[in-house]
Amino acid sequence: MCTSPPEVSLNDEELVARAGAGDLEAYELLVSRHTASAYRTAVLLGAGPDAEDVVQEAFVKGHRKLSRYRGESSFRSWLMAIVANETRNLHRSRSRRDGLALRAETARPDSEIGEDAAVEAVLAGERRATLVRALRLLPVKDREVIVCRFFLDLSEDETVTMLGWPRGTVKSRTSRALAKLRGLLDVAEVHRG
Partner 1 sequence: MDDLERELRDLSAWLETPDPPDVTARVRVRLAAPVRRRRRWRYLLAAALTAVVVAVLPPGRAALADAAAGLLRFAGITIATTPEPALPTGAASPLPTQRSVAVAEAQRKVRFPVRTPTKLGPPEQVLVADPDDAGACRVVTLLYHGGALRIDAFDGGLDTAFHKQAAGPGTTLVQVNGGFAVWIDAPHPVAYVDRAGTVRVETARLAAATLIWQQAGVSYRIEGDLTRLEAIEIARSLS
* Minimum CB distance to partner 1, residue 171 (Å): 14
Q: Is 101 in the site for partner 1 (CB under 8 A)?
A: yes
Residue 87 CA to residue 42 CA, distance in Å, equals 6
Residue 121 CA to residue 80 CA, distance in Å, equals 34
If the CB atoms of residues 21 and 111 are measured against partner 1, the closer one turns out to be: 21
Give, to the nearest 10 degrees, the angle between helix 24-44 and helix 12-20: 120
* Minimum CB distance to partner 1, residue 120 (Å): 14
Where does this chain touch partner 1 (CB under 8 A) — which range of 67-75, 108-116, 160-168, 178-186?
178-186
* Minimum CB distance to partner 1, residue 1 (Å): 9
Q: Is 32 in the site for partner 1 (CB under 8 A)?
A: yes
**Number of neighbouring beta carbons within 10 Å of residue 119:** 11
* Minimum CB distance to partner 1, residue 34 (Å): 10
The closest alpha carbon to 55, from 67, 71, 44, 66, belongs to 44
Distances, alpha carbon 184 to alpha carbons 45, 146, 169, 181, in Å? 20, 15, 22, 5
If the CB atoms of residues 36 and 119 are measured against partner 1, the closer one turns out to be: 36
Could you say which residues in the range 58-97 bind partner 1, by CB under 8 A?
59-60, 63-64, 93-94, 96
- 3 CB contacts (<8 Å, ≥6 apart)? 29
Residue 79 CA to residue 93 CA, distance in Å, equals 22
Site of interaction with partner 1 (CB under 8 A) = 24, 27-28, 31-32, 35-36, 38-40, 43-44, 49-50, 52-57, 59-60, 63-64, 93-94, 96, 100-103, 127-128, 131-132, 146, 150-153, 178, 181-182, 185
